[in-house]
Homo-oligomer: A and B are copies of this chain.
């Protein structure tokens, strides 16, 4: 499996390769969370051996990947300032989806065993934002109260994860779908969601609503 063509390909800038590895790791791990170092290195156009020149070991690579991804995630979470809970959730979902385009995302989310704790810790700010939105929404009466705030927050996170990782990421209508899924879990009826999205067309921007 490690065998490749013996042709010696021209090499690119050094530092750029490091970034390339991270990118490759993100996409590789997105489709197969247990992709081997070799697979990642090859996908980045480098040899396995070279990868070890950039990262001490598997763990180091994964950690850096998680950190990078979660920083972007947390930044997005911090940028949400809507007071209305459903609106805030909709916007948060849409931005997470589009900006950090299903790459770093899926990777950081679909990670396995030894890194779940790490990932969880790194995403704490995002999680806190969601929790705050949920709490506020319940108090304001704009979110369901049949489910405890912590549980609801968790469900919403899972719904988002579901939308992000389980749906054909390439589709243009994917964002729309993700937002609808999250708002549904949040307790809105589909008609209410429809109204909300119609009132705030900027959330889902364009996207062909046909192939939904």
Contact = CB atoms under 8 A, between A and B. Distances in A.
Nearest to A34: B34
Interface string A151-165: 100010011001000
How many monomers of this chain does the complex have? Answer: 2
A49 interface: no
A187 B187 contact: no
Given A185-B185, A189-B188, A158 B147 contact: no
A113 B113 CA distance: 16
B158 A190 contact: no
Interface in A179-212: 180-181, 184-190, 192-194, 211-212
A190 B159 contact: no
A34 to B, nearest CB: 8
Nearest to A189: B189
A72 interface: no
A71 interface: no
B189 A187 contact: yes
A212 B162 contact: no
Contact of A212 (B151, B194, B211, B212): B151
A212 B181 contact: no
27 contacts: A144-B190, A146-B180, A146-B190, A146-B193, A146-B194, A147-B177, A147-B180, A147-B190, A147-B212, A148-B211, A148-B212, A151-B212, A155-B177, A155-B181, A158-B162, A159-B159, A159-B162, A159-B185, A162-B162, A184-B184, A184-B185, A184-B186, A184-B187, A185-B185, A187-B189, A187-B190, A188-B189
Return the 3 tightest CB-CB contacts between A and B, nearest first.
A189-B189, A187-B190, A144-B190
Given A148-B212, A184-B184, A185-B185, 10 more contacts: A147-B190, A151-B212, A155-B177, A155-B181, A159-B162, A159-B185, A181-B185, A184-B186, A187-B190, A189-B189
